[in-house]
């Protein structure tokens, strides 16, 4: 998927380094079918051996895939776009329903495992905080990770942002134009907020070839994190919305990336993020509507299909990587859930106060599930 300040693009790229027929099958009618596997897949490694090939899901695995895709694009359409990623790589990891990336900041460089949020604009790191700072987190695999705390006084490249900065939104709370610029950002979860002051420092980026592309950015030095941040370990949040203070726009202003970025989410929780990625000429696109807010990635939903039932709709939804589940307003929620319920043959359970979901069932072994398709306005590239 490609996020751009003008369009939200859906990118489907299927790149095969080697198309192999592993397991030739014949049907009753005499037609032939093939199983096609990627050169780096476990099936191919079993046949050819895995020496020198990257492990599936590893950073080297995604680097190899992206490098191959870029080579095909350069050959086919002479597209000389340059994409950049964080210095530690462009891989992302889902932990407790949020997507994280390893970001390095400051001099000397220090890493932070930050959550990626397209539903907010400010990038902030835990900083100069005591009891409110989360200092470790546990992954879904049970691994305990020690987290870093940003300290402006220990970074040679750090500088303060004063109240006369164009990025200072709360200058009316400043004592003087040269005071430290304060910030406060609230989130949808009750009582969840981050407060502190704005600072400026270097974010370390690199191209796919490993060339350094560092940039100075403004972000929040979070002295207090409350609400949900007390329960969920967050080592900072990177706001990716459409705003001058959001990281994508600051990278554009610094001249290190073009005005777009991509986020891809895999079924196993792993994914990638790349800045300056404009996608391919044959991908599908849907325009951003800007109906809810010009600052966020709003798309128009034209219809959805539950099983074999199609329901025409006309509403706008915000694409938010920081939200774990999809939320629908009425009457579309009732239309979807009613058709879903009518299509499920199994017994529905009574709603539990402990469950956030209204429709839960005792599934039998014969039920194979339902398909749910959401349609948006398609625009040819």
pLDDT (tens digit per residue) in 2-59:
333 333 333 322 222 222 222 222 233 332 333 333 444 554 444 334 445 566 656 5
At residue 16, the pLDDT reads 24
Which of the following is catalytic: 69, 117, 121, 354?
117
The pLDDT score that the predictor gives to residue 53 is: 53
Per CATH, domain 84-256 is 2.40.70.10? yes
Sorted by where each begins, the domain ranges of the chain are: 9-77, 84-256, 288-380
Global pTM value:
0.72
pLDDT at 374: 82
pLDDT tens, residue by residue, 31-40: 233 333 344 4
Give the residue ranges of the chain where pLDDT is below 50: 1-40, 43-51, 68-80, 379-381
Q: Which of 121, 201, 298, 320 is catalytic?
A: 320
- Residues 6 or more apart from 5 whose CB is under 8 A from it? 242, 248, 249, 259, 260
Residue 117 is a catalytic residue: yes
User: What was the pLDDT predicted at 255?
Assistant: 92
């Amino acid at each position: 998927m490609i996020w751009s300040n003008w369009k939200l693009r859906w990118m489907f790229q299927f790149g095969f380094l080697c198309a192999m027929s592993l397991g030739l099958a014949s049907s009753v009618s005499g037609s032939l079918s093939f199983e096609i596997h990627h050169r780096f897949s476990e099936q191919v490694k079993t046949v050819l051996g895995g020496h020198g090939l990257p492990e599936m899901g590893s950073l080297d695995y995604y680097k190899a895939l992206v490098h191959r895709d870029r080579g095909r694009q350069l050959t086919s359409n002479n597209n000389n776009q340059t994409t950049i990623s964080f210095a530690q790589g462009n891989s992302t990891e889902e932990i407790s329903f949020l997507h994280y990336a390893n970001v390095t900041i400051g001099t000397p460089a220090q890493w932070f495992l930050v959550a990626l949020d397209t539903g907010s604009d400010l990038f902030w790191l835990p900083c100069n905080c005591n009891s409110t700072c989360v200092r470790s987190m546990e992954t879904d695999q049970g691994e305990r990770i020690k987290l870093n705390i940003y300290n402006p006084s220990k970074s040679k490249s750090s500088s303060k942002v004063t109240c006369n900065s164009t990025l200072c939104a709360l200058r009316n709370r400043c004592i003087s134009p040269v005071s430290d610029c304060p910030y406060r950002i609230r989130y949808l979860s009750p009582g969840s907020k981050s407060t502190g002051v704005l600072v400026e420092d270097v974010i370390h980026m690199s191209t796919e070839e490993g060339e350094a592309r560092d940039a100075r950015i403004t972000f929040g030095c979070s002295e207090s994190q409350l609400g949900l941040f007390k329960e969920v370990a967050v080592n900072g949040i990177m706001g990716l919305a459409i705003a001058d203070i959001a990281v994508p726009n600051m990278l554009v202003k610094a001249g290190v990336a073009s005005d777009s970025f991509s986020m891809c989410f895999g079924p196993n929780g792993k994914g990638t993020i790349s800045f300056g990625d404009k996608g391919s000429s044959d991908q599908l696109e849907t325009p951003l509507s800007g109906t809810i807010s010009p600052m966020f990635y709003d798309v128009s939903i034209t219809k959805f299909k539950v099983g074999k039932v199609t329901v025409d709709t006309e509403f706008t939804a915000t694409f938010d990587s920081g939200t774990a589940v999809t939320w629908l307003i009425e009457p579309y929620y009732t239309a979807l859930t009613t058709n879903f319920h009518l299509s499920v043959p199994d017994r529905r359970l009574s709603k539990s106060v402990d469950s956030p979901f209204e429709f839960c069932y005792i599934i039998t072994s014969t039920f194979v599930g339902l398909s749910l398709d959401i349609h948006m306005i398609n625009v040819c590239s």
